[in-house]
Amino acid sequence: MRCLKKNLKKFQKKKMIKKKLKKNASKIDKFLINFLNRQQNTLLVKPMKYGVISGGKKIRSTLILETGKIFNVSEKKLLNICAAVECIHSYSLIHDDLPCMDNDSLRRGKPSTHIKFGEASAVLAGSSLLTLAFEIISDKKFPIQPNIKSEIVRSLASCSGHTGIAGGQELDLKFENKKKSINQIINMQKKKTGKLFNFCLYAVGAVAKKSKREKNFLSVLGEEIGLLFQLADDFLDNKGSAKLVGKPVKKDNKKGKSTLLKLMGEKKAYLYANNLKKNILLKLKKHGKKTKDLISTIEFILERKF
Ligand code: GRG
Protein backbone atom coordinates (compact mmCIF):
# COMPACT_ATOMS: atom_id res chain seq x y z
CA MET A 1 0.00 0.00 0.00
CA ARG A 2 2.80 2.38 0.97
CA CYS A 3 4.64 1.50 -2.25
CA LEU A 4 1.50 2.16 -4.29
CA LYS A 5 1.07 5.57 -2.66
CA LYS A 6 4.73 6.40 -3.33
CA ASN A 7 4.38 5.45 -7.01
CA LEU A 8 1.19 7.48 -7.35
CA LYS A 9 2.94 10.52 -5.83
CA LYS A 10 5.86 10.06 -8.23
CA PHE A 11 3.48 9.78 -11.21
CA GLN A 12 1.60 12.93 -10.16
CA LYS A 13 4.88 14.80 -9.69
CA LYS A 14 6.02 13.83 -13.21
CA LYS A 15 2.69 14.91 -14.66
CA MET A 16 2.94 18.27 -12.92
CA ILE A 17 6.47 18.90 -14.19
CA LYS A 18 5.43 18.06 -17.76
CA LYS A 19 2.50 20.47 -17.45
CA LYS A 20 4.75 23.20 -16.04
CA LEU A 21 7.32 22.78 -18.86
CA LYS A 22 4.60 22.86 -21.51
CA LYS A 23 3.09 26.03 -20.05
CA ASN A 24 6.44 27.83 -19.92
CA ALA A 25 7.39 26.61 -23.42
CA SER A 26 4.20 27.98 -24.93
CA LYS A 27 4.77 31.33 -23.18
CA ILE A 28 8.25 31.63 -24.69
CA ASP A 29 7.05 30.44 -28.12
CA LYS A 30 4.38 33.15 -28.06
CA PHE A 31 6.97 35.78 -27.14
CA LEU A 32 9.27 34.64 -29.98
CA ILE A 33 6.45 34.57 -32.54
CA ASN A 34 5.44 38.13 -31.58
CA PHE A 35 9.04 39.33 -31.67
CA LEU A 36 9.70 37.80 -35.10
CA ASN A 37 6.38 39.01 -36.47
CA ARG A 38 7.39 42.57 -35.58
CA GLN A 39 10.44 42.20 -37.82
CA GLN A 40 10.77 42.12 -41.61
CA ASN A 41 9.57 38.79 -43.00
CA THR A 42 12.74 37.53 -44.68
CA LEU A 43 13.42 34.15 -46.26
CA LEU A 44 15.19 33.04 -43.09
CA VAL A 45 12.21 33.51 -40.76
CA LYS A 46 10.76 30.12 -41.71
CA PRO A 47 13.89 28.04 -40.92
CA MET A 48 14.48 30.18 -37.81
CA LYS A 49 10.95 29.49 -36.54
CA TYR A 50 11.37 25.82 -37.42
CA GLY A 51 14.52 25.68 -35.29
CA VAL A 52 13.33 27.58 -32.25
CA ILE A 53 9.53 27.45 -31.96
CA SER A 54 7.20 24.55 -31.11
CA GLY A 55 9.77 22.01 -30.13
CA GLY A 56 12.03 21.36 -27.23
CA LYS A 57 11.39 21.39 -23.52
CA LYS A 58 12.61 24.97 -23.05
CA ILE A 59 13.97 23.78 -19.73
CA ARG A 60 16.49 26.63 -19.54
CA SER A 61 13.57 29.09 -19.54
CA THR A 62 11.89 27.18 -16.73
CA LEU A 63 15.12 27.37 -14.70
CA ILE A 64 15.27 31.14 -15.29
CA LEU A 65 11.66 31.69 -14.21
CA GLU A 66 12.09 29.49 -11.14
CA THR A 67 15.33 31.18 -10.10
CA GLY A 68 13.41 34.44 -10.48
CA LYS A 69 10.92 33.19 -7.88
CA ILE A 70 13.74 32.93 -5.30
CA PHE A 71 14.47 36.65 -5.67
CA ASN A 72 10.89 37.84 -6.31
CA VAL A 73 11.71 38.93 -9.88
CA SER A 74 8.58 39.29 -12.01
CA GLU A 75 8.18 37.24 -15.20
CA LYS A 76 7.99 40.44 -17.25
CA LYS A 77 11.62 41.15 -16.36
CA LEU A 78 12.72 37.66 -17.38
CA LEU A 79 10.85 36.77 -20.59
CA ASN A 80 13.39 38.48 -22.89
CA ILE A 81 16.18 36.57 -21.17
CA CYS A 82 14.32 33.26 -21.61
CA ALA A 83 13.65 33.94 -25.31
CA ALA A 84 17.27 34.97 -25.92
CA VAL A 85 18.57 31.82 -24.24
CA GLU A 86 16.26 29.62 -26.34
CA CYS A 87 17.54 31.36 -29.50
CA ILE A 88 21.16 30.65 -28.54
CA HIS A 89 20.31 27.06 -27.57
CA SER A 90 18.47 26.41 -30.84
CA TYR A 91 21.22 28.03 -32.90
CA SER A 92 23.73 25.68 -31.26
CA LEU A 93 21.55 22.64 -32.00
CA ILE A 94 21.00 23.66 -35.65
CA HIS A 95 24.76 24.02 -36.15
CA ASP A 96 25.55 20.93 -34.08
CA ASP A 97 23.38 18.80 -36.40
CA LEU A 98 25.23 19.93 -39.56
CA PRO A 99 27.27 17.35 -41.49
CA CYS A 100 30.52 19.19 -40.58
CA MET A 101 29.72 18.73 -36.87
CA ASP A 102 27.65 15.87 -35.44
CA ASN A 103 25.83 15.11 -38.69
CA ASP A 104 22.42 14.29 -37.20
CA SER A 105 19.34 14.26 -39.40
CA LEU A 106 16.73 14.05 -36.65
CA ARG A 107 16.07 16.58 -33.89
CA ARG A 108 13.04 16.81 -31.58
CA GLY A 109 11.41 14.02 -33.58
CA LYS A 110 11.57 16.03 -36.81
CA PRO A 111 14.10 16.34 -39.66
CA SER A 112 16.99 18.59 -38.57
CA THR A 113 16.90 22.13 -39.96
CA HIS A 114 19.55 21.41 -42.65
CA ILE A 115 17.60 18.35 -43.83
CA LYS A 116 14.42 20.38 -44.13
CA PHE A 117 15.86 23.62 -45.58
CA GLY A 118 19.35 22.75 -46.86
CA GLU A 119 22.77 23.34 -45.29
CA ALA A 120 23.27 26.96 -46.32
CA SER A 121 19.88 28.04 -44.96
CA ALA A 122 20.52 26.13 -41.73
CA VAL A 123 23.88 27.88 -41.20
CA LEU A 124 22.28 31.26 -41.88
CA ALA A 125 19.15 30.60 -39.79
CA GLY A 126 21.36 29.42 -36.90
CA SER A 127 23.56 32.51 -37.15
CA SER A 128 20.46 34.71 -37.31
CA LEU A 129 19.09 33.14 -34.12
CA LEU A 130 22.43 33.90 -32.45
CA THR A 131 22.17 37.58 -33.36
CA LEU A 132 18.41 37.68 -32.64
CA ALA A 133 19.22 36.77 -29.02
CA PHE A 134 21.12 40.05 -28.64
CA GLU A 135 18.35 42.04 -30.32
CA ILE A 136 15.90 40.56 -27.82
CA ILE A 137 18.04 41.53 -24.80
CA SER A 138 18.76 45.03 -26.07
CA ASP A 139 15.13 45.66 -27.11
CA LYS A 140 13.84 49.02 -25.88
CA LYS A 141 10.66 47.37 -24.62
CA PHE A 142 12.58 45.05 -22.25
CA PRO A 143 11.83 46.70 -18.90
CA ILE A 144 15.21 46.60 -17.16
CA GLN A 145 17.88 49.29 -16.69
CA PRO A 146 20.36 49.86 -19.57
CA ASN A 147 23.41 49.08 -17.40
CA ILE A 148 21.91 45.70 -16.47
CA LYS A 149 21.13 45.02 -20.15
CA SER A 150 24.80 45.65 -20.99
CA GLU A 151 25.90 43.35 -18.19
CA ILE A 152 23.59 40.62 -19.50
CA VAL A 153 24.74 41.09 -23.11
CA ARG A 154 28.38 40.76 -22.00
CA SER A 155 27.68 37.60 -20.05
CA LEU A 156 25.57 36.01 -22.81
CA ALA A 157 28.29 36.73 -25.37
CA SER A 158 31.05 35.20 -23.29
CA CYS A 159 28.92 32.14 -22.40
CA SER A 160 28.12 31.58 -26.11
CA GLY A 161 31.44 32.18 -27.83
CA HIS A 162 34.91 30.64 -27.71
CA THR A 163 35.02 30.77 -23.89
CA GLY A 164 31.60 29.07 -23.73
CA ILE A 165 29.39 26.93 -25.95
CA ALA A 166 31.41 27.28 -29.17
CA GLY A 167 34.69 26.63 -27.36
CA GLY A 168 33.18 23.59 -25.65
CA GLN A 169 31.88 22.29 -28.97
CA GLU A 170 35.38 22.62 -30.48
CA LEU A 171 36.79 20.56 -27.59
CA ASP A 172 34.00 17.99 -27.95
CA LEU A 173 34.84 17.48 -31.63
CA LYS A 174 38.62 17.41 -31.00
CA PHE A 175 38.16 14.86 -28.17
CA GLU A 176 36.48 12.30 -30.47
CA ASN A 177 38.32 8.95 -30.39
CA LYS A 178 40.93 10.33 -27.96
CA LYS A 179 41.66 9.26 -24.41
CA LYS A 180 40.87 12.20 -22.16
CA SER A 181 40.99 12.63 -18.37
CA ILE A 182 37.91 13.15 -16.17
CA ASN A 183 38.88 16.79 -15.61
CA GLN A 184 39.31 17.44 -19.33
CA ILE A 185 35.85 15.99 -20.03
CA ILE A 186 34.24 17.95 -17.18
CA ASN A 187 35.87 21.16 -18.45
CA MET A 188 34.61 20.47 -22.00
CA GLN A 189 31.06 19.66 -20.87
CA LYS A 190 30.90 22.64 -18.50
CA LYS A 191 31.62 24.82 -21.53
CA LYS A 192 29.54 23.05 -24.20
CA THR A 193 26.44 22.58 -22.07
CA GLY A 194 27.12 24.23 -18.71
CA LYS A 195 27.89 27.79 -19.79
CA LEU A 196 24.36 28.52 -21.03
CA PHE A 197 22.91 27.23 -17.75
CA ASN A 198 25.51 29.37 -15.95
CA PHE A 199 24.17 32.40 -17.86
CA CYS A 200 20.53 31.51 -17.02
CA LEU A 201 21.10 31.79 -13.27
CA TYR A 202 23.61 34.64 -13.46
CA ALA A 203 21.22 36.79 -15.52
CA VAL A 204 18.49 36.46 -12.88
CA GLY A 205 21.01 37.59 -10.25
CA ALA A 206 21.86 40.60 -12.44
CA VAL A 207 18.18 41.57 -12.89
CA ALA A 208 17.64 41.16 -9.13
CA LYS A 209 20.64 43.48 -8.57
CA LYS A 210 22.41 40.92 -6.41
CA SER A 211 25.99 41.29 -5.14
CA LYS A 212 29.00 40.08 -7.15
CA ARG A 213 29.37 37.24 -4.65
CA GLU A 214 25.74 36.07 -5.10
CA LYS A 215 26.01 36.31 -8.91
CA ASN A 216 29.17 34.23 -8.78
CA PHE A 217 27.36 31.68 -6.60
CA LEU A 218 24.54 31.55 -9.19
CA SER A 219 26.99 31.15 -12.10
CA VAL A 220 28.75 28.21 -10.49
CA LEU A 221 25.43 26.62 -9.50
CA GLY A 222 24.09 27.05 -13.05
CA GLU A 223 27.18 25.46 -14.53
CA GLU A 224 26.80 22.49 -12.19
CA ILE A 225 23.14 22.12 -13.19
CA GLY A 226 24.36 22.16 -16.81
CA LEU A 227 26.86 19.39 -16.08
CA LEU A 228 24.07 17.37 -14.45
CA PHE A 229 21.93 17.96 -17.54
CA GLN A 230 24.78 16.75 -19.77
CA LEU A 231 25.25 13.59 -17.67
CA ALA A 232 21.51 12.88 -18.02
CA ASP A 233 21.88 13.44 -21.77
CA ASP A 234 24.68 10.85 -21.87
CA PHE A 235 22.54 8.38 -19.88
CA LEU A 236 19.67 8.95 -22.32
CA ASP A 237 21.95 8.30 -25.27
CA ASN A 238 22.97 5.02 -23.67
CA LYS A 239 19.66 3.74 -22.33
CA GLY A 240 16.91 6.09 -23.50
CA SER A 241 14.15 5.64 -26.04
CA ALA A 242 14.75 7.28 -29.43
CA LYS A 243 11.03 7.98 -29.71
CA LEU A 244 10.92 9.91 -26.43
CA VAL A 245 14.26 11.68 -26.92
CA GLY A 246 13.30 12.68 -30.47
CA LYS A 247 16.67 11.71 -31.97
CA PRO A 248 18.62 8.50 -32.51
CA VAL A 249 20.21 7.02 -29.38
CA LYS A 250 23.45 5.06 -28.85
CA LYS A 251 25.36 7.52 -31.04
CA ASP A 252 28.04 8.65 -28.56
CA ASN A 253 29.94 5.37 -28.74
CA LYS A 254 29.66 5.15 -32.52
CA LYS A 255 31.07 8.66 -32.83
CA GLY A 256 33.82 7.98 -30.27
CA LYS A 257 32.56 10.79 -28.01
CA SER A 258 34.46 11.39 -24.79
CA THR A 259 31.89 11.22 -22.00
CA LEU A 260 32.04 10.69 -18.24
CA LEU A 261 29.79 7.67 -18.71
CA LYS A 262 32.32 6.05 -21.04
CA LEU A 263 35.31 6.89 -18.86
CA MET A 264 33.81 6.01 -15.45
CA GLY A 265 31.41 3.24 -16.42
CA GLU A 266 27.69 3.20 -15.66
CA LYS A 267 27.78 2.62 -11.91
CA LYS A 268 30.34 5.31 -11.10
CA ALA A 269 28.79 7.80 -13.51
CA TYR A 270 25.33 7.44 -11.88
CA LEU A 271 26.95 7.81 -8.45
CA TYR A 272 28.80 10.92 -9.61
CA ALA A 273 25.57 12.40 -11.03
CA ASN A 274 23.62 11.69 -7.84
CA ASN A 275 26.32 13.28 -5.69
CA LEU A 276 26.39 16.29 -7.99
CA LYS A 277 22.62 16.65 -7.66
CA LYS A 278 22.81 16.34 -3.86
CA ASN A 279 25.48 19.07 -3.70
CA ILE A 280 23.42 21.36 -5.91
CA LEU A 281 20.36 20.91 -3.68
CA LEU A 282 22.47 21.45 -0.56
CA LYS A 283 23.75 24.74 -1.95
CA LEU A 284 20.17 25.89 -2.56
CA LYS A 285 19.19 25.31 1.07
CA LYS A 286 20.27 28.81 2.12
CA HIS A 287 17.43 30.22 -0.01
CA GLY A 288 14.74 28.26 1.82
CA LYS A 289 11.20 27.47 0.68
CA LYS A 290 11.25 29.71 -2.40
CA THR A 291 13.45 27.13 -4.13
CA LYS A 292 10.68 24.47 -4.19
CA ASP A 293 9.90 24.78 -7.93
CA LEU A 294 13.55 25.05 -8.92
CA ILE A 295 14.34 21.92 -6.91
CA SER A 296 11.60 19.94 -8.68
CA THR A 297 13.11 20.91 -12.06
CA ILE A 298 16.60 19.87 -10.92
CA GLU A 299 15.18 16.51 -9.77
CA PHE A 300 13.50 16.15 -13.17
CA ILE A 301 16.77 16.86 -15.01
CA LEU A 302 18.36 13.67 -13.74
CA GLU A 303 15.22 11.50 -13.89
CA ARG A 304 14.01 12.72 -17.30
CA LYS A 305 13.23 10.33 -20.13
CA PHE A 306 13.18 13.06 -22.82
C1 GRG B 1 27.45 24.37 -32.66
C2 GRG B 1 28.27 26.38 -31.36
C3 GRG B 1 27.75 25.02 -31.38
C4 GRG B 1 27.54 24.40 -30.23
C5 GRG B 1 26.91 23.11 -30.08
C6 GRG B 1 24.74 22.47 -27.55
C7 GRG B 1 25.80 21.87 -28.36
C8 GRG B 1 26.98 22.69 -28.66
C9 GRG B 1 25.68 20.66 -28.89
C10 GRG B 1 24.49 19.85 -28.74
C11 GRG B 1 24.88 18.47 -28.58
C12 GRG B 1 24.30 17.91 -27.37
C13 GRG B 1 23.47 16.71 -27.55
C14 GRG B 1 24.55 18.45 -26.19
C15 GRG B 1 24.00 17.88 -24.98
C16 GRG B 1 23.20 18.80 -24.19
C17 GRG B 1 22.12 19.35 -24.97
C18 GRG B 1 22.33 20.74 -25.37
C19 GRG B 1 21.04 18.63 -25.24
C20 GRG B 1 19.84 19.12 -25.90
O21 GRG B 1 19.20 20.04 -25.08
P22 GRG B 1 17.66 19.89 -24.66
O23 GRG B 1 17.38 18.51 -24.19
O24 GRG B 1 16.97 20.09 -26.06
O25 GRG B 1 17.31 21.00 -23.75
P26 GRG B 1 15.48 20.51 -26.39
O27 GRG B 1 15.16 19.76 -27.66
O28 GRG B 1 14.58 20.10 -25.26
O29 GRG B 1 15.51 21.97 -26.61
Q: What pLDDT digit, counting tens, does each position of 76-107 carry? A: 999 999 999 999 999 999 999 999 999 999 99
Percent above pLDDT 90 for the chain: 92
Residue 106 three-state SS: strand
Query: Hey, what amino acid is at 272?
Result: Y
Spell out a b/e string for 196-210, using b for 16 or more CB atoms within 10 Å of the CB, else e: bbbbbbbbbbbbbeb
Q: Up-side HSE of residue 305: CA atoms within 13 Å toward CB?
A: 8
**Residue 3 pLDDT greater than 90, yes or no:** no
Note the pLDDT tens digit of each residue in 183-220: 999 999 999 999 999 999 999 999 999 999 999 999 99
| Domains in the chain: ranges and CATH | 16-303 (1.10.600.10)
CB contact at 8 A, 94 and 126: yes
What's residue 14's pLDDT? 87
**What's the distance, Cα to Cα, between the start and end of the chain in Å?**
29
What's residue 5's pLDDT? 85
Pocket test for ligand 1, best of 96, 188, 200, 302 (most atoms within 8 A of CB): 96
| Distance in angstroms (rounded) separating the CA atoms of residues 136 and 82 | 10
Note the pLDDT tens digit of each residue in 236-273: 999 999 989 988 899 999 999 999 999 999 999 999 99
To the nearest whole number, what is the mean pLDDT of the chain? 96
Note the pLDDT tens digit of each residue in 134-144: 999 999 999 99
Residues 6+ apart with CB under 8 A from 188: 168, 171, 172, 175, 180, 258
Per 3-state DSSP, what percentage of the chain is helix, strand, and coil (rounded to 5)?
A: 75, 0, 25
Percent above pLDDT 70 for the chain: 100
| Distance in angstroms (rounded) separating the CA atoms of residues 192 and 257 | 13
Cα-to-centroid distance, 177 and ligand 1 (Å): 20
| Distance in angstroms (rounded) separating the CA atoms of residues 161 and 70 | 29
Cα-to-centroid distance, 93 and ligand 1 (Å): 5
Cα-to-centroid distance, 171 and ligand 1 (Å): 15
How many helical (H) and strand (E) elements, i.e. helices and strands, does the chain have?
Answer: 16, 2
What's residue 9's pLDDT? 84
Note the pLDDT tens digit of each residue in 19-78: 999 999 999 999 999 999 999 999 999 999 999 997 899 999 999 999 999 999 999 999
